[in-house]
Structure 1
């Protein structure tokens, strides 16, 4: 293995520092194997490295693949880690991901609060502080609080769900874009 290839692999290893050690080593072994296979087929190491491209982009692709695999459970923490990673990948992502995430989680939380407020107001558990109105001077009667809060909460929850789906689709799109950079996903 040439010094240039060794330097490339060391740079890639450094750029993968946020991944677990076993995942980092798997990525390095995969690239080493790819290079060895190319050399065995008569290609030069320089040509193979040129096709692999910038190690930064390759590292982002591996980290993206790891994030998508790790985030299969899609816990709140996993989604926030993925959103943070993808926000660091481009200018459009810096704007799109935080907006969609804020709408999804903010509206989702508000939908639950609206439903609970309607429930509490309907039961009349000292809930004189909960006001529901259709406009100025058009107060919702207490007995209709649950129906009103279910409709409003459903609309707000629908907006949250659409934003959540949009966020997941956007991050899946980014992941698929990065996956194309990986050696096994394209013809060499």
Structure 2
């Protein structure tokens, strides 16, 4: 029922899905194969069906995006790095936005911990820790904890909102790719 052109499309899709686990890759190829066969059975020309499906590389990215979005619920750092690496290949804007948001989120988050820790240590006598507001304006030791809490809250807020922005941007990209899948699957976050 499916022509050699359709089989070639499925082979390319299978090749582009090589980074997915075998069962998911096979399920995706079978889904597209049944989508093509169903369309042909309903009287649609195979060329029209393949044209609607689009480039097999882009369709494979949609399936990989769906896989990434499902793994995102695990929320491990490794999964996040995998997702960031995948989405950085999606376009020029992503190459700039994702690393900046990730760096700010994690870098400022780490700095928040250091700032609060420094305030606690300085309050309890570690006077070698400097806390300056400006040239010649040092924070008195008895205000170190309050000062570090305020600065830590500001820096932590920046980290938190960068993290939220990163998650929303990744969800946006996932949703965009999912619309490429047959039936335009909805995104549930």
Specify the TM-score bucket, using the shorter chain as the normaliser. over 0.9
Q: Shift of residue 129 of structure 1? A: 2.5
Long gaps (5+) in structure 1: none
The 5-angstrom pairing of residues 18-29 of structure 1 reads 18-29=19-30
Q: For residue 104 of structure 1, what is the aligned residue in structure 2?
A: 105
Deviation, 1:183, is 0.6
Give the match for residue 93 of structure 2: 92
CA distance in 2, matches of 1:116, 1:73: 29
Cα deviation code 1:66-105 (max 9, x no counterpart) = 0010111222111111111000110110011111111111
How many residues are aligned here? 184
Structure 2, unmatched stretches of 5+, are none
1:1-188 superposed matches below 5 A: 1-124=2-125, 127-185=126-184
Residues in 2 aligned to 1:113 and 1:78: alpha-carbon distance in whole angstroms: 26
Aligned counterparts of 1:141 and 1:176: Cα–Cα separation in 2: 51
How far 1:23 moved relative to its partner? 0.8
Q: Considering only aligned residues, what root-mean-square deviation do their CA atoms show, in Å?
A: 1.0
Q: In structure 2, what is the Cα distance between the partners aligned to 1:38 and 1:123? A: 74
Question: Cα deviations across residues 20-74 of structure 1 (Å, max 9, x unaligned)?
Answer: 1111011001101111111111112111111101001101111111001011122
Distance 2:92 2:132 in 1: 41
Runs of at least 4 residues of structure 1 off by over 3 A? none
CA–CA distance in structure 2, aligned partners of residues 150 and 76 of structure 1: 27
CA distance in 2 between counterparts of 1:29 and 1:185 reads 17
The CA distance in 2 between the partners of 1:75 and 1:181, in whole Å, is 27
Residues 103-127 of structure 1 show CA distances to partners (whole Å, capped at 9, x for unaligned) of 1110000001101111111112xx2
Distance in 1 between the 2:15 and 2:157 partners?
43
SS, match of residue 73 in structure 2: helix
